[in-house]
Structure 1
């Protein structure tokens, strides 16, 4: 009897949890509008000035950069030398938990920060008019600062329940009060920007899991159906006893 009951419980558990495991997906960023996610560039001259839309590009491969400036000093990448730049990833109707970010190219320093939109108000996909210093008060959450990433993959360690359709990856560090920083600290304080602290990076890929929709609500059996199912189960137990 115990054996049959255990098999019945195990089978039910497997049926309920068959869709629980979520496979990780890697999105290679190549600046093509036909592939998800949609990539847009955003920039501001400082933390208190208005953020505006700017171009993105796949200059010389190795990942996507922002700004479209001269490539002579790495300004074809996502950087913070002449203004602060971010790459927005828009996953459309899908809600995504980002697990990692891979950089394909860096120059000088390679600090990045990651933000996710978690506001209660639906986001339009535009940051125009906002400022870096006000992002956290406008629905964005800081996922983390990641220093000296290099041409590697960094694990974000985002909260397990953090899913969003909009993610921002910026060059440097991020402070909830100040906005963009150099990403470098000394004795607990952000260090000022210098030629050796400018961050130049190209984002090659991101990985994460897509949130699955809730399972459809199944029809609750009527009492008569439950009685029949119970009788059938008891019948199985009776047959088992006779054989024993």
Structure 2
């Protein structure tokens, strides 16, 4: 009988360890500046500032840092003729609890004039904005929530999948074409709705479950490729993103069962040794 109990306990542990685990889903809300789970500080716009988000939900092991970039240099047009422009750092800007974050681009004079306070591709200057999501470990970006958009809200999502360690040099001073050959991959192009205010609109952005620690959300840029976006000036403010950890973690109940099984094994062995 003791050997039977020992075998059963071992079976419980083996079954638990072999059971599928669930990756944790996290939502990072840029409209939430209230601790715990806050994203901030986001103060007066300053060139090159960074938004930091604490762990959400509290107790996870991933943090998020967000920074802004925008194109500059020669080239005209909004999304159609931007291939000669290179990217530089820009300033993240908090746009309120209902809208999220936008970008002030230095090449635009850090102007708050609409739509230049958003992540946009201004038709007058040809400048295109992007926000970089830097996670402390690889995450599967699942969705992007838009809290505000202009008359059009097309955007693109890119992941860093390069073989060399990530560096901001893969963005700064590079054209879109150079970024695509330097480790960045276009994941999706979203034909976003226009004139979003309320309610917010959530878009699934990663059907292939690409995993990376570094992601870009860009106003539509034809130089990145992609199709399905409409013509016009695109301007968005990102309220939140949802991610799923690329490494599965055991469910709490399965951990408890595993502990119970290990305890039973230890108890059986102790009785046999007496």
Q: CA deviation at 1:202?
A: 0.3
Q: CA deviation at 1:39?
A: 1.1
- Looking at structure 2, the residues matched to 133 and 198 of structure 1 have their Cα atoms a distance apart, in angstroms, of 21
Q: Is it true that 1:42 corresponds to 2:78 in the alignment?
A: no
Q: CA deviation at 1:87?
A: 0.5
Secondary structure of the residue aligned to 2:244 is strand
Q: CA deviation at 1:123?
A: 0.8
Q: In the alignment, which of 145, 162, 171 is matched to residue 102 of structure 1? A: 145
- Looking at structure 2, the residues matched to 156 and 135 of structure 1 have their Cα atoms a distance apart, in angstroms, of 20
Alignment match, 1:63: 100
Change (3 A) 1:31 1:171: farther
Q: CA deviation at 1:70?
A: 2.8
Unaligned runs of 5+ in 2: 31-38, 42-50, 54-62, 73-81, 251-264, 269-274
- Looking at structure 2, the residues matched to 148 and 211 of structure 1 have their Cα atoms a distance apart, in angstroms, of 27
- Normalising by structure 2, we get a TM-score of 0.64
After superposition, what is the alpha-carbon deviation per residue over 1:194-237, rounded to whole angstroms, capped at 9, x for unaligned?
xxx1011001110011233899xxxxxxxxxxxxx9xx9xxxxx
Change (3 A) 1:182 1:23: closer
Alignment match, 2:78: none
- Normalising by structure 1, we get a TM-score of 0.71
Q: CA deviation at 1:31?
A: 5.0
Alignment match, 1:152: 201
After superposition, what is the alpha-carbon deviation per residue over 1:150-175, rounded to whole angstroms, capped at 9, x for unaligned?
44000113423x2111000001254x
1:1-80 aligned within 5 A: 9=11, 11-17=13-19, 20-29=21-30, 30-32=39-41, 33-35=51-53, 36-45=63-72, 46-61=82-97, 62-68=99-105, 69-80=110-121
Alignment match, 1:169: 217
Q: CA deviation at 1:66?
A: 1.2
CA contact (8 A) 2:24 2:248 kept: no
Q: In the alignment, which of 121, 131, 144 is matched to residue 164 of structure 2? A: 121
CA contact (8 A) 1:63 1:205 kept: yes
CA contact (8 A) 1:112 1:183 kept: no
Change (3 A) 1:168 1:31: farther
Secondary structure of the residue aligned to 2:86 is coil
Q: CA deviation at 1:47?
A: 2.1
CA contact (8 A) 1:80 1:171 kept: yes
* Greater C-alpha Rg: 1
- Looking at structure 2, the residues matched to 101 and 24 of structure 1 have their Cα atoms a distance apart, in angstroms, of 13
Q: CA deviation at 1:40?
A: 1.0
Q: CA deviation at 1:117?
A: 0.2
CA contact (8 A) 2:188 2:226 kept: no
CA contact (8 A) 2:150 2:234 kept: yes
Secondary structure of the residue aligned to 1:15 is helix
Q: Which deviates more, 66-75 or 94-103?
A: 66-75
Alignment match, 1:236: none
CA contact (8 A) 1:56 1:66 kept: yes
